[in-house]
Structure 1
Amino acid sequence: MASQDHSYLHKKVMPIGTVCELTGLSERQIRYYEERKLIFPQRTDKGNRKYSFSDVESLMEIANKMEDGIQTAEIRKELLKRKEKNSEESLRNTMIKGQLNAQFHKGSIR
């Protein structure tokens, strides 16, 4: 149920104008971060960008790092490392759940 509680964070529902209001960033800045492959909005059939609340959080983090003088290439490397770590953790959790289920079913057959 916890994943359902956070599913709204990842739904791409906000237009760029709303994201600008929430973050204080300009459309130009947001598009630049997209060009630098730091953010990945969804596109509608008409080509409009849609963002999620987690995208807004990422944009704020990116903007803060840029203000601190960190280059976009460094930010991208950090984001990739974080994504890899999350993937590894997710895989490990899936494997543990599988092992627990196997042990549970093995024990209930006896």
Structure 2
Amino acid sequence: MSSGETSYRERKVISIGTVSELTGLSVRQIRYYEERKLVLPHRTNKGTRKYSFTDVERLMEIANHREDGVQTAEILKEMRKKEQRELNKAGLKKQMLRGQINAQFQRGRP
């Protein structure tokens, strides 16, 4: 896959009605979670919300937390922490790879 392509999991192609059917959440709940910045659908030129499979998974995770009594502000806080850990992890992997490449090229030099 080229860098310009998006994985099928990230493509925003699912309508809010289908997301509601898949998750068991009402359209109102899904819109509320959008208002709270827990999920960010794509908006078409006509304003139609489009979600990805990743968004559906995130909504299921949110619903599970809500059933456990976790407030949306706490869910958002935890989601941001998780995203930051993933970014840090990706950055560390990139640094390690760069170090391995540099070490490999240094080995071949006199």
TM-score normalised per structure 2: 0.89
> RMSD of aligned C-alpha atoms?
1.5
Gaps of 5+ in 2: none
Cα distance in 2 for partners of 1:30, 1:98 equals 41
SS of match in other structure, 1:7: coil
> What is residue 106 of structure 2 aligned with on the other side?
106
1:68-87 matched pairs, under 5 angstroms: 68-87=68-87
The structure that is helix-richer by fraction is 1
Cα distance in 2 for partners of 1:32, 1:54 equals 18
Give 1:108 deviation, angstroms.
Answer: 3.1
TM-score normalised per structure 1: 0.89
Cα distance in 1 for partners of 2:106, 2:10 equals 37
Note if 1:52 corresponds to 2:55: no
Identity %: 53
Letter matched to residue 45 of structure 1: N
Gaps of 5+ in 1: none
Give 1:75 deviation, angstroms.
Answer: 0.4
> What is residue 16 of structure 1 aligned with on the other side?
16
